[in-house]
Amino acid sequence: MSLLDETVSVPRRTMTLFFVIDTSGSMAGSKIGAVNDAVVNVLPMLEEISAENPDAEIKVAALEFSTTCNWLYNEPKLASEFVWQDVQATALTSLGAACKELSSKLSRSGFMQSASGSFAPAIILLSDGAPTDDFDSGLAMLKNNNWFKAAIKVAVAIGEDADKDVLTKFTGTSEAVFTVHNIDALKQIIRIVAVTSSQIGSKSSTAGDTTKQDQVVAEVKNAVDNIDGAEVATSVDASAYTDDWD
């Protein structure tokens, strides 16, 4: 057998999609129910994207935060192995603590330890209110993290009471913050952001000088135009929608 007859298996890199989910008391009821339903339904889509990608496998990690923070698993899981555990809403909004916890896992000693190497992660923050702890110090720590600097970052403001200025600080750009006003819009945005971030984040290269972050934001913006009850959070006009969470 010649060397040309040998098949060499090249290990795929890993791209981790992080869900960072506000589970404070104001999320109780239809909001948290919609989040649980949306993630359950998007996981098979992420599994399919991963299976068809020759460059990278997609893993999922989920951090819920209220008064305390909790990872649903102690390591990222392949989408095919991630069994969603419904989260419940209660207590306060410790987003600052969540930033610190996220930073601790965005490291080689944490969740970014793939033997074959990792693409920059994608991070989706979902929140309907304002932090009740020291958000600024938590974010300052997170912003010093090189994985976070390189990550795709999108935030979903769930309803008009969500603090969009805080979410803009998290993503680094107001263009990456999207507001939803009803259950269907929330479910659709979670699906679109998760799928788009996974597809683009797991590519080996970007188109021209356009960053992966810019590509994701552009595609989500296009999708938002066709979703009733969703809008780019940066609009200077008064919202054309009123919240309806029944």
DSSP result, 60-102: EEEEEESSSEEESSSS-EETTT---------S---HHHHHHHH
Q: What are the C-alpha distances in Å from 82 to residues 42, 115, 141, 193?
A: 11, 20, 28, 18
**Extended strands (E) in 27-182:** 56-65, 69-71, 77-78, 122-127, 152-158, 177-180
Parse the chain into domains and list their residue ranges. Answer: 13-234
**13-234, superfamily in CATH?**
von Willebrand factor, type A domain (3.40.50.410)
Place of tokens 């356009």: 210
pLDDT of residue 206: 59
pLDDT tens string for the chain (246 positions)? Answer: 454 445 445 688 999 999 999 999 999 999 999 999 999 999 999 999 999 999 899 999 999 999 999 999 999 999 999 999 999 999 999 999 999 999 999 998 999 988 678 999 999 999 999 999 999 999 999 999 999 999 999 999 999 999 999 999 999 999 999 999 999 999 999 999 999 999 999 998 756 678 999 999 999 999 999 999 999 987 655 567 899 998
pLDDT of residue 222: 96
Structure tokens at 146: 């090189």
pLDDT of residue 1: 46
Q: Which pTM does this prediction carry?
A: 0.94
Over the Cα atoms of the chain, what is R_g? 18
Residue type (1 letter), 105: K
pLDDT of residue 12: 87
pLDDT of residue 209: 73
Residue 219: other Cβ atoms inside 10 A: 17
pLDDT of residue 239: 62
Taking the C-alpha atoms of residue 180 and residue 127, their distance in angstroms, rounded to an integer, is 11
pLDDT of residue 9: 55
pLDDT of residue 11: 80
Backbone dihedral angles phi then psi of residue 243, each to the nearest 5 degrees? -65, 140
SS3 158: strand
